[in-house]
Amino acid sequence: MTDPMRTSPLSQQLEGQAARLAVVQEMNTVVEARNEAESSAALTLCDASALPRFGICGPRAARWLTDQAVALPRAVLGTQALPPDGLCLRTGEAEFIVEDGPEGSAASDLARALGCGLDGVYPVLRQDAQILLRGEQACDVLAQVCAVNFRAPGERLVFTRLAGVSCAVLPPASQPWFRIWIDATHAVYLWQTLLQIVRELDGGVSGLASFFPRCSHRSKSPAHTKEQTK
């Protein structure tokens, strides 16, 4: 018996935007959007909720992750790139989040290895939605919904509110776009709010392959193939 396909909380918002769907990390994902801009400087939003996350906390969490060959950020709110396309976030002295890119498996591997937890090491369920924001006017978008000055250089995770909703925001550093994590229950509201501003600034929506080009080589999802043959 196969596991059920994961579903993005933003899937209905993107129904009319998809030029191509593909399965990314066991989730049907828009990898190419209709009429998306080719320039990386163009203002655009993307649903990256397919990227899996693994949360862990506890007084022995850092040691356990190190024993699993995970490179940890030294500072709280710092980040550390993980091969091949993942990220480790340090959200507290003894709190971490590991996120995979489209090709990685660290989050799922760690979840299996930890199971229900160990003495001093506890798993934390993460079901966030993730929105990517890119473009020369990205800071102009955030300035309309947030009091934080994202034009100032910064590489650390920021916990703040966007349009009144609590979020975690990672400014551009190794990757030239903002990552925005939000509780799935508020994802549609924030997406609609940001998209309205983006469109007012002549921006639009992009698929995940615009941010992670290897996604462009993935096969179409069965659901999307069926729709096109009707």
- According to DSSP, the β-strands at 44-47 and 204-205 are parallel
Band (pLDDT 50/70/90 cuts) for residue 39 is confident
- Predicted local confidence at residue 4, as pLDDT: 63
Which residues make Cβ contacts (< 8 Å) with residue 230, sequence separation at least 6?
A: none
Band (pLDDT 50/70/90 cuts) for residue 229 is very low
- Predicted local confidence at residue 113, as pLDDT: 96
- Predicted local confidence at residue 1, as pLDDT: 40
Whether 219 shows a pLDDT value over 90: the answer reads no
Band (pLDDT 50/70/90 cuts) for residue 176 is confident
Answer whether the bond into residue 213 is a cis peptide, omega within 30°: no
Q: How far apart are CA 33 and CA 38, in angstroms?
A: 11
Convert 53-88 to b/e letters by CB count within 10 Å (16 or more is b). bbbbbbeebbebbeeeebebbeeebebbebeebbbb
- Predicted local confidence at residue 224, as pLDDT: 47
Q: What is the pLDDT of residues 117-159, one digit of tens each?
A: 999 999 999 889 999 999 999 999 999 999 999 988 788 999 9
- Predicted local confidence at residue 226, as pLDDT: 43
